[in-house]
Structure 1
């Protein structure tokens, strides 16, 4: 059995990592695992994990000889899927913002190679019932879709979560009394496609943040993987760039609250039950011009929509009252988007692989273990 993995432009991360680690723990010596990486990411893989460079003949051979391919993004390099290979596409998030063919404004031909990859998919995962049809429609995928929850989020419900929180906070130099604010802004299409891959400006007033919160708060900045650049901060600012931390779920555990805008991280972080604040200083432009949404964020958000840095800092300072005010909305948000995030998604996905390969049917699996099958 040969399995080839690909995640986020060559990272050892996300749903493929969770599935790989579960399979590796079974100790099947007959299975050969190979990850696609890049020169910049190869050193981040554990030494016992086999890697080949993305885009090379070796990578193409790994894909074309695989019995199983597991990816969380489109594999846009050329390769031919041989008969008998099963391709599991996990994708990497519940979308608020429109994606793939539902999004407008990308450069001409930017989806050509991605569409070739979509045609290879045998099974697409969906993290929740609200997302299933959106993913299928956006990608033009007419094959099976399985509602399973995301394997990467199992850690958030694991008995290990408290120990992981303590370990990650120690690695980041955070003592128990420090409030960690995880900031996860998404990328902006115009900056990536016309601006050379710049990160969006850090619209938070760091001087004001430092003056009011800096003694006992720290901002953990997690930039989107689409953004190539890194932001610079004034000396002494209470900011830690955690963009290169491989497992974002570990950061969810380490953090005490999240600040985001339109990122899919909001849906995963909600599994923790910790407060979420929305810093949406460019809401109208992003929604109406850059990307567009699948639903009204203002009607669904489990926390306040904040337009200015001052409003954000006030909300962080008074987060307990803010969380209490939005408790009902938060509960409804979790019911809609986190109903499958119970810590068992990995096993549900692994159990699906031979069934899906044999049947070619959609399988919807709920936490109670009932399977509902339907052709798509």
Structure 2
């Protein structure tokens, strides 16, 4: 009944004249100030002072936005209902609640949140997530995509997949990802500042571990499990003198990890506001099936793929769009011993001399030139 009431109010207010210079932003279900919506917001704040730029924020995330000094309205409050349905522009990077209709005169810009490796939307053959089934999941995806007026794509490869997997027939802005603009011209001053804020000694090298979630390993709907598959004590003995390890769990993982035994060596950065800043300070990335490696590659730094459950993930859970075993821009390993060996082999290397890495960059990152946010904004304001 509450959702029906919300929908009714939303429809009624959405039928009123639009606030033509109002842009409302959300990132990851209104819980983050991050990703391409943040990059677009910051670009518009600098170059389009006549626009009102406001964030829609989950109540639990309000302190985060207070800290950044960013203007926001709390989701589902009276003020939110008076503003959101009447905004001329929405900018988001994930799906909105299914009860929320898009008014006819609203321009909905969907940035999405990654170049796809694992299958998406209607391309997934069977859903293993709690609280839904395959048919419902696919239908909800298609219904959401029908609301979008613009879809941001980082490259031609993604455009082909997005339009098919989302059954999307609207306008595509093939621009590169706005969130990656900062990676195309990394700043040493900014990197030093980020390390200082995290308490990382400036002389230490940084290794970022950023795995994804597993659809079939969960506590309940929306709360997924994750277990480390390498020993942190051994990692510390092997690399701790020269390196620190940043642990960045996917936002869907509900685990709270206790790294107190490894203080000063292992840092939990799962709730750090923006992963782009973690990329900037990281000298090497460890990941698995997460799309983070597409972005990190922009920096021309080493990547190791720790795919300990490759066969199950590839053949049962999701499946891949590319032949990852032949096209990955770094070694794929499945055991702790091989992981540590790969790190040692890559940690001082220049990946730009690797033909496979160069081919990967040319295919997926050719548009990442620092001007993606500009291209996106100019496209949806035309």
Pair in the same fold by TM > 0.5: yes
Counterpart residue number, 1:121: 148
Counterpart residue number, 1:25: 46
In 1, the alpha carbon distance for the partners of 2:194 and 2:352 equals 30
The alignment yields a C-alpha RMSD, in angstroms, of 2.1
Deviation at 1:48, TM superposition (A): 4.1
In 1, the alpha carbon distance for the partners of 2:195 and 2:354 equals 27
Cα pair distance change 1:164/1:325, threshold 3 Å: closer
The superposition leaves residues 35-74 of structure 1 with CA deviations (integer Å, 9 ceiling, x where unpaired) of: 1111221111156423223345544443310101111111
Cα pair distance change 1:325/1:150, threshold 3 Å: closer
TM-score by length of 1: 0.88
Cα pair distance change 1:111/1:66, threshold 3 Å: farther
1:39 aligned to which of 59, 67, 80:
59
Counterpart residue number, 1:228: 254
Counterpart residue number, 1:134: 161
In 2, the alpha carbon distance for the partners of 1:115 and 1:62 equals 26
Instruction: Give the SS at the match of 1:4.
Output: strand
Contact 1:60/1:78 (CA < 8 Å) preserved in 2? no
- 1:79 corresponds to 2:100: yes
The superposition leaves residues 105-156 of structure 1 with CA deviations (integer Å, 9 ceiling, x where unpaired) of: 1422345544432211001011011111101111111111121001110001
In 2, the alpha carbon distance for the partners of 1:145 and 1:232 equals 43
Instruction: Give the SS at the match of 2:91.
Output: strand
In 1, the alpha carbon distance for the partners of 2:235 and 2:352 equals 23
The superposition leaves residues 272-306 of structure 1 with CA deviations (integer Å, 9 ceiling, x where unpaired) of: 00000000100001111111111111111011001
In 1, the alpha carbon distance for the partners of 2:184 and 2:112 equals 21
In 2, the alpha carbon distance for the partners of 1:49 and 1:208 equals 42
In 2, the alpha carbon distance for the partners of 1:268 and 1:333 equals 11
Cα pair distance change 1:64/1:275, threshold 3 Å: same
Equivalences for residues 1-376 of structure 1 within 5 A: 1-10=21-30, 11-26=32-47, 28-29=49-50, 31-46=51-66, 48-56=69-77, 58-103=79-124, 104-105=126-127, 106=129, 107-108=132-133, 109-110=136-137, 112-158=139-185, 161-192=187-218, 197-233=223-259, 235-236=261-262, 238-320=265-347, 327-355=354-382
Contact 2:142/2:168 (CA < 8 Å) preserved in 1? no
Contact 2:94/2:112 (CA < 8 Å) preserved in 1? yes
The superposition leaves residues 330-359 of structure 1 with CA deviations (integer Å, 9 ceiling, x where unpaired) of: 00010011010011111111111133xxxx
In 2, the alpha carbon distance for the partners of 1:195 and 1:282 equals 22
**Which ranges of structure 2 fall in alignment gaps of 5 or more residues?**
1-20
Instruction: Give the SS at the match of 1:243.
Output: coil
In 2, the alpha carbon distance for the partners of 1:81 and 1:118 equals 11
Instruction: Give the SS at the match of 2:286.
Output: strand
Contact 1:198/1:229 (CA < 8 Å) preserved in 2? yes
**Which ranges of structure 1 fall in alignment gaps of 5 or more residues?**
356-376
Instruction: Give the SS at the match of 2:298.
Output: helix
Deviation at 1:27, TM superposition (A): 5.5
Cα pair distance change 1:302/1:58, threshold 3 Å: same
TM-score by length of 2: 0.87
Cα pair distance change 1:304/1:44, threshold 3 Å: same
In 2, the alpha carbon distance for the partners of 1:228 and 1:33 equals 31
Cα pair distance change 1:234/1:171, threshold 3 Å: closer
Deviation at 1:314, TM superposition (A): 1.7
In 1, the alpha carbon distance for the partners of 2:97 and 2:360 equals 34
State how many pairs are aligned: 353
